[in-house]
Amino acid sequence: KAGVTQTPRYLIKTRGQQVTLSCSPISGHRSVSWYQQTPGQGLQFLFEYFSETQRNKGNFPGRFSGRQFSNSRSEMNVSTLELGDSALYLCASSVSGGGYEQYFGPGTRLTVT
């Protein structure tokens, strides 16, 4: 089976802009979770989607949003970018989601200048 894919792998944006990141889960996985990873805070949970519905949400501002399509592919959007949004954004897919074993993509490295 193909693994989790994320596009783009690298992105440079300017403060105030918005960005959309994409994630294609492993075939048959219905849950997609998004995480932000920074050196200072580590891996922080953003949100989880299951069958096109947001099931869990982490403690991030409303500028961070996401959605999931009927084919389980997911997108994450960040509006009004801030310097502190620079991070590695990881997507993980799982058969059932929640606390079940997750399979991560390689991530999108976002740099905000």
Partner 1 sequence: TQLLEQSPQFLSIQEGENLTVYCNSSSVFSSLQWYRQEPGEGPVLLVTVVTGGEVKKLKRLTFQFGDARKDSSLHITAAQPGDTGLYLCAGAGGGGADGLTFGKGTHLIIQP
Interacting residues with partner 1 (CB under 8 A): 4, 33, 35, 41-45, 48, 56, 58, 90, 92, 96-107
Q: What is the 3-state secondary structure (H, E, C) of 54-112?
A: EEEECCCCCCEEEEECCCCCEEEEECCCCHHHCEEEEEEEECCCCCCCCEECCCEEEEE
Min dist CB 100 to partner 1, Å, is: 6
Residue 89 structure tokens: 């954004």
Q: Which residue lies nearer to partner 1 by CB, 55 or 79?
A: 55
Min dist CB 98 to partner 1, Å, is: 3
Q: What is the largest distance, in Å, between two alpha-carbon atoms of the chain?
A: 38
Q: Which residue lies nearer to partner 1 by CB, 2 or 14?
A: 2
Min dist CB 14 to partner 1, Å, is: 24
Min dist CB 16 to partner 1, Å, is: 28
C-alpha separations of 85 from 45, 71, 109 in Å: 14, 28, 10
Q: Which residue lies nearer to partner 1 by CB, 96 or 113?
A: 96
